């Protein structure tokens, strides 16, 4: 897309820019930030994935119990150990994660140079979050900010909701979607007297990782489910889809940025346009992605060939997109909203 311009400063943040939350750990990845404007600044809600410092001949798993990180250590040559990929291994039928993610703020005056806060946000202590919290979307409704993020545990990956007005005091509403669910983002205003969100459950024998809509009277309890975007066989989004940050109100309808992956797990970005009064009605959808992984920091990293956005800020027609690249770095790009709307008709 013509108006898409990556920041020259990319990547904006790398694991080397982020201190681990405690001694004995290192930051493996910093990725998939939520984004918001507040008090004249741009803030990111980083996903920081950390792990115990390596010890030769050992393999570490990490989990959380309340405020404690628990490290479980195995001999690397343990015959009962089966590695799935860089993120997961199995020992005697039980799954373990090699990293655990928390959420951390970073702030910037110009939206390009970010200062990372030293401590994690005080979230992630639910029983359903012992394997960490990930990929936060931030929506502002009135003077309150709402955070929706993936919560992982041995019971699966669901979605939790937390709210804050000052980014110091948070209240958590617990899990609002059970497994398997992620990629949840709230609409920033009521439609016909109900709250709405997009989310990404997974149909198992029928269906798949599709984008669904739900509505709520209070943001904590959800119902009225309908599917609005399935994967498309043979296309760039044939394998999975999931919504990005809060839908953007435009004159043509709600603009939803989403990621799609093909069967090689190459992640690109596309867009949906939903009816302004009935967001279950899809008006248009990108034929081709408007953004693909092409830069070296997007094609190589912890998990290569990924651009994944769950945060943006908007000024007039200019959308600033923050995105995770190769599951390891945080990057930025700008584009024209009207230009994007034209590509999806």
- CB nearer to a second copy: give 54 or 127: 127
Q: How far apart are CA 68 and CA 88, in angstroms?
A: 20
| Of 25 and 131, CB closest to a second copy | 131
Which residues, listed in sequence order, are joined to residue 141 by a DSSP beta bridge? 144
- Among residues 127 and 296, whose Cβ is nearest to a second copy? 127
For a second copy, the closer of residues 42 and 215 by Cβ is: 215
- Minimum distance from residue 263 beta carbon to a second copy (Å): 12
Q: How far is the CB of 255 from a second copy (least distance, A)?
A: 23
Per DSSP, 209 falls in state: B
Q: How many beta carbons lie within 10 A of that of residue 222, not counting itself?
A: 21
Coil/strand/helix, residue 119: coil
Q: How far apart are CA 278 and CA 191, in angstroms?
A: 8
Q: Which is nearer to a second copy, 189 or 235 (CB)?
A: 235
Q: Taking phi first (over 0 means left), then psi (-120 to 50 degrees means alpha), and beta for anything else, what does residue 101 get?
A: beta
284 Cβ partners below 8 Å, 6+ apart? Answer: 272, 273, 344, 345
Which residue pairs from 159-163 have beta carbons closer than 8 angstroms and sit at least 24 positions apart in sequence? 159/184, 159/199, 160/123, 160/126, 160/128, 160/129, 160/133, 161/219, 161/220, 162/123
Burial classification of residue 241, based on how many CB atoms lie within 10 Å of its CB (0-12 exposed, 13-18 middle, 19 or more buried): buried
* Smallest separation, CB 227 to a second copy (Å): 4
Q: How far is the CB of 97 from a second copy (least distance, A)?
A: 8
**Buried b / exposed e along 287-320 (16+ C-beta atoms within 10 A):** eebbbbbebebbbebbbbbbbbbbbbbeeeeebb
Residues that bind a second copy (CB under 8 A): 88, 93, 95, 127-128, 131, 152-158, 173-181, 199, 201-208, 210, 212, 214-218, 220-227, 230, 233
- Shortest spacing between CB 214 and a second copy, in angstroms: 7
Give the residue with the Cβ less far from a second copy, 298 or 327. 327
The smaller minimum CB distance to a second copy, of residues 43 and 89, is found at 89
CA distance 147 to 340: 26
Kindly state the DSSP code that residue 106 receives in the 8-state scheme. Answer: E
Euclidean distance between CA atoms 340 and 250, whole angstroms: 12
Residue closer to a second copy by CB (options 16, 206) is: 206
């Amino acid at each position: 897309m013509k108006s898409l311009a990556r920041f020259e400063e990319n990547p904006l943040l790398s694991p080397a820019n982020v201190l681990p939350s405690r001694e004995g750990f290192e930051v493996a990845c910093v990725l998939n930030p939520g984004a918001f404007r507040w008090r004249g600044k741009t803030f990111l809600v980083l996903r920081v994935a950390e792990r115990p410092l390596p010890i030769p001949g050992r393999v570490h798993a990490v989990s959380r119990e309340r405020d404690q990180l628990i490290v479980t250590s195995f001999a690397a040559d343990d015959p009962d150990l089966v590695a799935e990929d860089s993120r997961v291994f199995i020992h005697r039928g039980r799954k373990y994660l090699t990293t655990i993610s928390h959420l951390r703020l970073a702030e910037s005056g110009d939206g390009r140079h970010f200062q990372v806060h030293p401590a994690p946000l005080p979230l992630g202590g639910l029983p359903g979050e012992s394997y960490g919290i990930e990929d936060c979307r931030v929506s502002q409704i009135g003077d309150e900010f709402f955070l929706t993020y993936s919560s992982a545990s041995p019971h699966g990956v669901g979605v939790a909701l937390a709210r804050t007005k000052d980014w110091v005091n948070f209240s958590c509403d617990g899990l609002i979607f059970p497994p398997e669910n992620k990629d949840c983002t709230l609409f920033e205003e009521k439609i016909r007297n109900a709250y709405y969100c997009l989310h990404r459950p997974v149909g198992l024998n029928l269906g798949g990782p599709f984008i669904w809509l739900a509505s709520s009277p209070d943001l904590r309890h959800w119902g009225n489910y309908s599917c609005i975007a399935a994967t498309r066989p043979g296309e760039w989004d044939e394998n999975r889809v999931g919504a990005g940050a809060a839908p953007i109100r435009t004159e043509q309808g709600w603009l939803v940025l989403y990621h799609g992956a093909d069967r090689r797990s190459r992640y690109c970005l596309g867009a949906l346009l939903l009816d302004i009064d009935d967001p279950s009605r899809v008006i248009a959808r990108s034929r081709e992605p408007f953004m693909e992984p092409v830069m070296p920091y997007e094609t190589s990293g912890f998990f290569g060939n990924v651009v994944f956005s769950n945060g943006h800020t908007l000024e007039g027609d200019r959308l600033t997109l923050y995105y995770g690249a190769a599951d390891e770095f945080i990057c930025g790009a700008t584009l024209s909203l009207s230009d994007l709307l034209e590509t999806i008709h």
